[in-house]
Structure 1
Amino acid sequence: MSKNKIFILELILAFVVSFSFYFNLFEKWFLLTLFFVSYFIIGRSVFKNAIKDFMQGRFMRESFLMAVATLGAIFLNEFIEALAVLIFYRIGIYFEDLAISRSKNSISNLLNIKPEYANLIKDEKTIQKLSLDKVFINDKILIKPYEKVPLDCVIYENESYFDTKALTGESMPRDAKPGDELLAGFINGDKAVKAKVIREYKHSLVARVLELISKAQEKKTPLENFVSKFSKFYTPIVVFLALFLTIIPTAIFGFSEFDLWLERSLSLLVVSCPCAFVIGVPLTYFAAIGKASKIGIMFKGSVFLDLLAKSKTVIFDKTGTLTKGEFALKKINNFSNLSDKELLKYLALAESNSKHPLALCIVKEFEKSGEKLDYSLIKQHKELRGNGLLCEIDDKEILVGKEELFKNVKNFKQDDTCNVFMAINNEFVASFVLDDSIKEDSKEGIDELNSMGIKTVLLSGDKEERVEKIANELGISSFKGACLPDEKLEFLQGYMKENGLTVFVGDGINDAPCLINADVGIAMGNIGSDIAIENSDIVLVDDKISKISTCIKLAQKNSSIVWQNVILALSVKFLALILAGFGFLSIALAIFADTGVTVLVVLNALRQLYSNEKEEKNLKTDEFKMHIKCCSSH
């Protein structure tokens, strides 16, 4: 039988016994027998925890208060109230456990993204199901419809679309074709595809995400520590107040008043239970972390929610953080009679033997036209001491390279914005701009931070003029370029000393010192290096800069809810303590008040977990919702 059903049966028994007592349905001895049976059944967990706490020297806790209150009620022959205390307390604990369980679901559901097996392609006719640790790089795997992608891989046959929400927070399915990379944890939503493994499971993004989740609650916030310390002092004070409330009036008015003041003391003990603080405040943080995890933001500890809520500055790395970290052809300045495509063909042929990122980018740009390079046109190929290339292509002398090579070239036009120049037969014909591409949502993310009054700073090892260009394009208020890793850290430490709480966002190995030393370090989870991710405090699983403002807003909302809960709990308890002290609050009403404020605090904490998200609003069609449901069920 499930715990829920057992709990319901226990409640029914307690209510039946209370009803029998109230209407005096049976003989006294039988009623007392029923009472003590139901009393120990429904109160066993309370007494078990009270004894356990007492043995560990922590007896001034809510279980101790409940035990004392019920035993005192029995001493006063208030059997119905003794059961009422346990009933209300157990109901409160039940709903608290239920709320905590539901808040954990958003994180535990992420654990379900871990694949369990891979379909290894032995040959075209044989598929073998293997555990992930037996599949290696370059192995070929089959990913069937509705299956999870088992390992990071690249498709080489067929195409499909994939549900990526559990891992990256993206609401819309992602189309994937041969050559596209898939991450472990994606769900195949259409056709079976074949793919080649590019990373072992332990190095996959999903493995890193799961490790972050498992450590998310290890660090406690200063406010949580405050609540724990508060309870240690608060509870003994209330216990002694309750003793004085019994002893002093009895000494003054005589022993005949003992029962009256004992009942008031017991009511005071019950209502003073600090469970609203002990449960409500940590739950608020847990709900915020759970909410963040649902949209692809991984917090390594709840302390960073508090820090983010107070942040006023975000410092960004450039390459791989605000930009894609990949070169792309931005512009061709054509000064010849040849077409742009012909110029790009000669440039691609000249660079075809190089593995330099710029050369690879140039070849890739030409191949986008669908035309293949004819390498037979290359007659000679000579490197010029790291400055460029001199080639004979299609009976033409092609000079390609840096500006320094072109001082004596006819009709040369200098241009500081260009980084590749080309001459044909010693006559200048074109210059090319190849640069890193800005991520699609970087501008949106920076604009949102600016609108929130958060100062943005760009810090990069790239050339000062290129850093300035990116900063101006994105609307970043200040910048510094040409920084080595130690210079980045020196700048960050100086900035933090002058300006206070600072967030740093980066992705590379050279960003790790800044990620460690910043008040809050945010790393890119997809493109980011392992060292950057390990040394950060928050990880953006899908690398979206726009989610930084989401982090800060979530942290600010969490801070607001925490203080709402603290003020609400203090106010209700302060009023209830006064009423209990003057005899206007019975034991049953006291436990009802304590349970009620705890439930209110819990519900308030969970508001942020169940509030609508922008990503969820993008689920516009019933068909797509059904598709997600279908994928999740497999």
Structure 2
Amino acid sequence: MEVFKNMSKENKVNLLRLLFFTIISFILYRYYSHVGKKFSIVMGFLIVYLLLGGEIFQRGIYSITHGNSMDENFLITIATFIAFLLGQYEEALAVLIFYSFGEVFEDIATDKSRDNIKSLMDIVPQKAQKVNPDGTFTEVDIEDIEIGDIILASDGEKIAVDGIVIDGEGLLDTSSLTGESLPKSIKSGSKILSSSILSSGIIRYRASKVFDDSIANKIIELIEESNERKSDSERLITRFAKIYTPIVVALATFIAIVPPLLGFGLREYLLRAGTFLIIACPCALVISIPLTYISGLGLASKNKILLKGSNFFEKIMDSDTLFTDKTGTLTKGEFDIETIVYYTDYSKNLILDYIYNLEKLSNHPIAKSIVNSLNRNDNPSYFIASKNIIGMGVWARTYENNEIKIGSADFVGEVDNTNGKAVYMTINNLLVCKIILQDKLKDDAKETIDDIRENFNQIAVLSGDDEKAVIEVAKELGIGYCAKLLPDEKLELLRDEQKKGHSVIYLGDGINDGPILKSADVGISMGQTASDLAIEASDILIVNGEVSKIKDLIKISKIVDKTAKENLSFILLAKIIILILGLFGYAPMWLAVFGDVGVSIIATLWAMRILNKKI
């Protein structure tokens, strides 16, 4: 099984130790069955019993002496002691061996889940180049960077800590933070966040936070703590065990004392009491149900989905409404030309040739999109000089001594009324055209919405964008919509649905939707978020920003829910049957062992199957 790959050294040692004790126990049993109860054989059993169960006994005694509720360790301790006292040596060792194997399997599965989760933590470099006062460089651990330190970053390097650019310029890939496919132009004065990647350029930046306070570390902390928030089912099992265990001990005590007082055999009913304790031990429930959810967290993280707690699997299953943001969530930031607005009597063909040939000088994704959309002929001979100004646009001068600027509204000196979705062109500071861009739907958006439609009573896009753009997206996806919404209006709409009894999932880009992400029953961010507020507000992070991961998330939630129910049903059925047999004396201790630890191992392996699921 995949779950046993890359097993930790500790788990390997524990498995070898258990295999060794299993072989020794089998040899002792064979000798015991042939030569009987000799002192050397009994001492051999006792030594193995103490070595094998020492840690379990310590935990059981500690639980009682420190005022904690009686747990499975205490029940195992009492049951095996009774078995050993009554001469059922092989039974006592079998209980300890099976139980210990169950614990090791649980540790292996938990480690595998955590490894999958921690694979998402490779979002920052381990080292950074610190610029010394004399201009030399020193390689330092990112934990040693202090506020005010100057750090050098080159092409392809990850940003170590949050900071402010003081020198240089380039393009910053923030997709690991925001899921945004368009690189962000940066220059002196630009704020940058840890774990983003400098895709081009060389910069020096001043650290504005130490690593422990950085965005990346906040994400890492959430990853490490993701399995600490328990699901409702896990909490129920924990509460159940605290009440159930004392009742079981009381019943076992009754079985051991009352029948002998009425004239029945003391040995027989002590053995029945020990058998009852083993059968009734709740470790199968206590181990397998939480492990089901831990395995679900591992499978999700393996598929680039980070849940901040296993409780959200159940909340996803209970949700009947899906609201989603548009820009950066359903759309990918790769623009097509929607229309070109002309303002002068300049030749349109000449204008398009200028745009095509000048935008080819830029590596910016919007420039590349415009070039691909226009598909004109190359003619660089139009210009005697040209310059690509990173983050702003392209400047050129023609042989006729005309100055041309193509780029953002700020670059050409115009007022933008398109929310940044246009490129402007001026000739001699006269606006000649405006290229209005249209954001593209993500490739997997329509297929995903179609696939998950049956899971929700209502799916709608909520956007602050203009109505025309929102209608086009909603119509193409076949979902409802609301446009021109301010953040507080989005929040009000969501709360209205909750007041009607609906459980709402909100899917956003994790940047401007902090309030609604926090208020939704399940808030999902597309890409690791770019603000402290959004990190705290989101319940689930989809690391790569793919809409199709919503479909995967729902599928994983169904797998977890089904596995938990299957394990619960199997455990309760097996225990009830064997418990009844035990009360009437028809269940030997080996069957009690199967009824507890054997069932635990089967349920644990069944839960571990989740880690090998292909989504």
TM-score clears 0.5: yes
1:237-256 aligned at under 5 Å gives the runs 237-252=247-262, 254-255=263-264
Can you list the C-alpha shifts for 1:275-330, whole angstroms capped at 9, x where unaligned?
11111111111111111111211111111111011222110112222234576532
How far apart, in 1, do the equivalents of 2:292 and 2:92 lie? 32
Closer, same or farther in 2 for the Cα pair 1:89/1:324, shift >3 Å?
closer
Letter in 2 for 1:289: L
**Residue 342 (structure 1) aligned to one of 344, 351, 376:** 351
How far apart, in 1, do the equivalents of 2:470 and 2:454 lie? 22
Letter in 2 for 1:66: I
1:471 equivalenced with 2:474 (yes/no): yes
Post-superposition shift, 1:458?
1.1
How far apart, in 2, do the equivalents of 1:340 and 1:363 lie? 19
Closer, same or farther in 2 for the Cα pair 1:98/1:19, shift >3 Å?
farther
1:63-212 aligned at under 5 Å gives the runs 63-111=73-121, 114-118=124-128, 129-132=139-142, 133-134=144-145, 139-141=152-154, 196=203, 206-212=216-222
Closer, same or farther in 2 for the Cα pair 1:348/1:554, shift >3 Å?
same
Closer, same or farther in 2 for the Cα pair 1:304/1:77, shift >3 Å?
same
Closer, same or farther in 2 for the Cα pair 1:325/1:245, shift >3 Å?
same
Matched residue, 2:237: 227
1:444 equivalenced with 2:447 (yes/no): yes
Post-superposition shift, 1:115?
3.2
How far apart, in 1, do the equivalents of 2:285 and 2:140 lie? 48
| Matched residue SS, 1:598 | helix
1:605-620 aligned at under 5 Å gives the runs 605-613=607-615
Matched residue, 1:457: 460
Contact in 2 for aligned 1:508/1:532 (Cα 8 Å): yes
Which shows bigger deviation, 534-543 or 360-369? 360-369
How far apart, in 2, do the equivalents of 1:387 and 1:80 lie? 83
Matched residue, 1:258: 266
Contact in 2 for aligned 1:119/1:141 (Cα 8 Å): no
Letter in 1 for 2:42: L
Letter in 1 for 2:463: S
| Number of corresponding residues | 552
Matched residue, 2:327: 319
Closer, same or farther in 2 for the Cα pair 1:34/1:340, shift >3 Å?
same
Closer, same or farther in 2 for the Cα pair 1:529/1:473, shift >3 Å?
farther
How far apart, in 1, do the equivalents of 2:289 and 2:43 lie? 40
**Residue 23 (structure 1) aligned to one of 4, 24, 34:** 34
Post-superposition shift, 1:92?
2.6
Post-superposition shift, 1:185?
7.5
Contact in 2 for aligned 1:205/1:525 (Cα 8 Å): no
Contact in 1 for aligned 2:581/2:587 (Cα 8 Å): yes
Contact in 1 for aligned 2:511/2:529 (Cα 8 Å): no
Contact in 2 for aligned 1:327/1:435 (Cα 8 Å): yes
| Matched residue SS, 2:58 | helix
**Residue 536 (structure 2) aligned to one of 509, 534, 537:** 534
Matched residue, 1:45: 55
Contact in 1 for aligned 2:526/2:543 (Cα 8 Å): yes
| Matched residue SS, 2:439 | strand
How far apart, in 2, do the equivalents of 1:330 and 1:137 lie? 43
Closer, same or farther in 2 for the Cα pair 1:29/1:333, shift >3 Å?
same
How far apart, in 1, do the equivalents of 2:539 and 2:254 lie? 49
Post-superposition shift, 1:499?
4.9
Matched residue, 2:296: 288
Which shows bigger deviation, 447-456 or 221-230? 447-456
Matched residue, 2:338: 330
Letter in 2 for 1:89: Y
**Residue 310 (structure 1) aligned to one of 306, 310, 318:** 318
Gaps of 5+ in 2: 1-9, 187-191, 359-363, 381-385, 387-394
Matched residue, 1:629: none
| Matched residue SS, 2:306 | strand
How far apart, in 2, do the equivalents of 1:388 and 1:35 lie? 85
Matched residue, 1:620: none
1:201-600 aligned at under 5 Å gives the runs 206-252=216-262, 254-255=263-264, 257-324=265-332, 329-332=337-340, 338-340=347-349, 342-343=351-352, 345=354, 365=370, 372=386, 373-375=395-397, 377=401, 432-450=435-453, 452-453=455-456, 455-476=458-479, 478-526=480-528, 528-600=530-602
How far apart, in 2, do the equivalents of 1:388 and 1:105 lie? 48
Quote the RMSD (CA, aligned, Å).
Answer: 4.7
| Matched residue SS, 1:139 | strand
Post-superposition shift, 1:61?
1.7
Matched residue, 1:622: none
Contact in 1 for aligned 2:95/2:597 (Cα 8 Å): no
How far apart, in 2, do the equivalents of 1:286 and 1:50 lie? 25
Can you list the C-alpha shifts for 1:101-121, whole angstroms capped at 9, x where unaligned?
333322244446653224679
Post-superposition shift, 1:128?
5.1
Post-superposition shift, 1:57?
2.3
Letter in 2 for 1:374: A
Contact in 1 for aligned 2:215/2:531 (Cα 8 Å): no
Closer, same or farther in 2 for the Cα pair 1:321/1:73, shift >3 Å?
same
How far apart, in 1, do the equivalents of 2:332 and 2:532 lie? 17
Contact in 2 for aligned 1:314/1:502 (Cα 8 Å): yes
Contact in 2 for aligned 1:14/1:39 (Cα 8 Å): no
Which shows bigger deviation, 466-475 or 13-22? 13-22
Matched residue, 1:34: 44
Letter in 2 for 1:24: V
Contact in 1 for aligned 2:130/2:150 (Cα 8 Å): no
Letter in 2 for 1:558: V
How far apart, in 1, do the equivalents of 2:442 and 2:108 lie? 41
Contact in 1 for aligned 2:325/2:507 (Cα 8 Å): yes
Letter in 2 for 1:282: P
TM-score after normalising by structure 2:
0.76
Closer, same or farther in 2 for the Cα pair 1:87/1:499, shift >3 Å?
closer
| Matched residue SS, 2:100 | helix
Post-superposition shift, 1:196?
4.5
Closer, same or farther in 2 for the Cα pair 1:526/1:328, shift >3 Å?
farther
Contact in 2 for aligned 1:442/1:546 (Cα 8 Å): yes
Gaps of 5+ in 1: 350-358, 392-399, 404-417, 614-634
Contact in 2 for aligned 1:275/1:598 (Cα 8 Å): yes
Post-superposition shift, 1:489?
0.8
Contact in 1 for aligned 2:120/2:304 (Cα 8 Å): no
| Matched residue SS, 1:51 | helix
Which shows bigger deviation, 322-331 or 97-106? 322-331
Letter in 1 for 2:567: N
Identical pairs, percent: 34
Post-superposition shift, 1:552?
1.6
How far apart, in 1, do the equivalents of 2:477 and 2:228 lie? 36
Contact in 1 for aligned 2:529/2:535 (Cα 8 Å): no
Letter in 2 for 1:11: T
Which shows bigger deviation, 526-535 or 300-309? 526-535
Matched residue, 1:395: none
How far apart, in 1, do the equivalents of 2:355 and 2:197 lie? 43
